[in-house]
Amino acid sequence: MAKTDLKFGKKLKKYGAVDFNACYNCGTCTAVCALSNEKDSFPREMVRYSVLGLSEDVKGSLKPWLCYYCGECTAYCPQEAKPGELMMSLRRYLTSHYDWTGLAGLLYRNLAAYLVAFTLIIGGIVGLYASNTFQFEEWMHYGHLFEMLAIGGVFAVIILPNIIRMWYSTVWKPTKKFKLKFYFKAISELLVHMFTQKRSLSCDSDTKNKIWWFEHFVLVLSYLALLFTTVFLDWFSATNTIVVVAGYVFSGAIFVVTTDFVIRRMRKRSEKSTFTHPSDWFFVIWLMLMGFSAFAVRLLVDFEMLQSTFWVFLIHITVLVQWALIIVPFGKWTHFLYRSFAMYFDKVNKLSK
């Protein structure tokens, strides 16, 4: 039998949501939510679990990932309990729960931990530069090597185990069923949602939301394309004109979209962009810095000025390392995978019912 545990609610508050206790269970949030339906009823259910502290039910649920935070629930909540922000916080909590290292939780709960980790990396890079270990050419070479190693390492050591943990919590533990054919049947869900986020289009039918979706879509594709361009086509050293131009386009697109996202979060005009957790700021700003610094580095390469303005490359590599070692494995980056895997696992669960 489920047991109440008020400590759980207090713990959740450290992930951002602070007002959900005001809920008086009217269900307006669930009624106005365009994504909630009879089979998947949220966000009130999630608010209720959080108020009562039913942590096992939260950990086993995929529903927080089914929400794309349009903010309608928060806008209509008569008690100002901010259910949308709670769903966001639950995603942060679940990210921490899936993470076997515990570092995700530490970083989400403590801004100071984030800052320390970032500073350590800056210190490392600056130290490495000061020690004159590498020559200019070596920096370029090892930078590229690092990128490849980081991708492989983070994926193998952190992300893959975490996705398996997610599967264990949300599929195996609640259903105790495993049929391989369902995993093949449902695979399209994973790919479609990973690359298109099409579900967020049903969030809200107005044009603003469609624009937001399009920007996000462009951002995801540009990010993946830039990753491919820099890692596998070695953009910074490439000579093929198509590769060089493509890199400019992708990094430029990342910079433009993320700049718009930062402006949105500063203006706070929509519910979606009203509440910004430190992890949100880090995610969007670092993505913006990546796009900008990569663009700048390649520009300096093309003008053969990189050697004289090497600090630009140092900034780029610092941003890159911070991104690859902190934000990707333990920060908001993971929502890219967890969301699409949630859709995938949800489909698997539904098939096995």
CA distance 43 to 13: 16
CB 5, min distance to another protein, A: 9
CB 51, min distance to another protein, A: 6
Distance of CA 89 to the CA centre of its chain: 13
The DSSP-derived string for 176-212 is ----HHHHHHTHHHHHHHHHH-GGGGGT--SHHHHHH
CB 30, min distance to another protein, A: 12
CA distance 228 to 317: 17
Tokens read off for 317: 């590599």
Closest CA to 71 of 44, 32, 13: 32
Residue number with CB closer to another protein (56 or 234): 56
CB 55, min distance to another protein, A: 13
CB 22, min distance to another protein, A: 5
Residue number with CB closer to another protein (15 or 261): 15
Cβ neighbours of 160 (radius 10 Å): 12
CA distance 302 to 87: 46
CB 204, min distance to another protein, A: 26
Residue number with CB closer to another protein (77 or 121): 77
The DSSP-derived string for 121-137 is HHHHHHHHHHTT-S-HH
Residue number with CB closer to another protein (21 or 101): 21
Residue number with CB closer to another protein (9 or 105): 9
Local structure of residue 237 (DSSP, 8 states):
G
Q: With beta carbons less than 8 A apart as the criterion, state whether 57 and 93 touch.
A: no
> Roughly what angle, to the nearest 10 degrees, separates helices 278-302 and 207-231?
50
Residue number with CB closer to another protein (4 or 110): 4
CB 48, min distance to another protein, A: 5
Residue number with CB closer to another protein (25 or 110): 25
Whether the link from the prior residue into 43 is cis, omega within 30° of 0, is yes
Site residues, another protein (CB under 8 A): 1-4, 6, 9-10, 19, 21-25, 45, 48-49, 51-52, 54, 79
CB 99, min distance to another protein, A: 27
Distance of CA 127 to the CA centre of its chain: 30
CB within 8 Å of 113: residues ≥ 6 apart: 106, 107
Residue number with CB closer to another protein (4 or 119): 4
Q: With beta carbons less than 8 A apart as the criterion, state whether 243 and 235 touch.
A: yes
Tokens 């190693």, located at residue: 149
CB 10, min distance to another protein, A: 8
